[in-house]
Amino acid sequence: MILMGSSVWAQHDDSKEIAISIKAGSSKDLAAFFDRNVELSINGNEGDYSKNQAELVMRDFFKKFAPSDFEIVHRGTSGNQIEYFIGTYDSAGTKFRILIKCKKDSGGCSIYALDITKE
């Protein structure tokens, strides 16, 4: 039971760290949570990227839309060790909804999909 509790705390810390990296506009810190391949969708432009490519795409997004705030507003889990977070991202008055999907494993949360939609 102690190990199980530690795993739950690690996952919650991951969501906080992911939120902090997005709020800071740090593609490098965010990419530390990426799986080997990441499905990215930014305002309908979709693609499958390697971890390194996804970091570059997010770096460009953060340059174009520098963050002024990010907050996770909903989180949940579904079958097969999947965890998801929905957050609101603000960039100088332009608002986005960000959906993050993670695979949970012993190492924490690995982001395999990220969907950014302008509101």
CATH of 2-118, picked from 3.40.50.720, 3.30.70.100, 3.40.50.2000, 3.10.450.50, is 3.10.450.50
Contact of 83 with 69, CB cutoff 8 Å:
no
pTM for this entry: 0.85
Q: Is the pLDDT of residue 3 over 60?
A: no
**What is the rounded CA–CA span in Å between residue 119 and residue 77?**
24
pLDDT at residue 104 in the model: 86
* pLDDT grade for 1, boundaries at 50, 70 and 90: very low
Q: Is the pLDDT of residue 6 over 50?
A: no
pLDDT at residue 62 in the model: 98
Mean pLDDT over 69-83 rounds to: 90
pLDDT at residue 4 in the model: 39
To the nearest 10°, report the CA torsion of 67, 15, 34, 78. Answer: -120
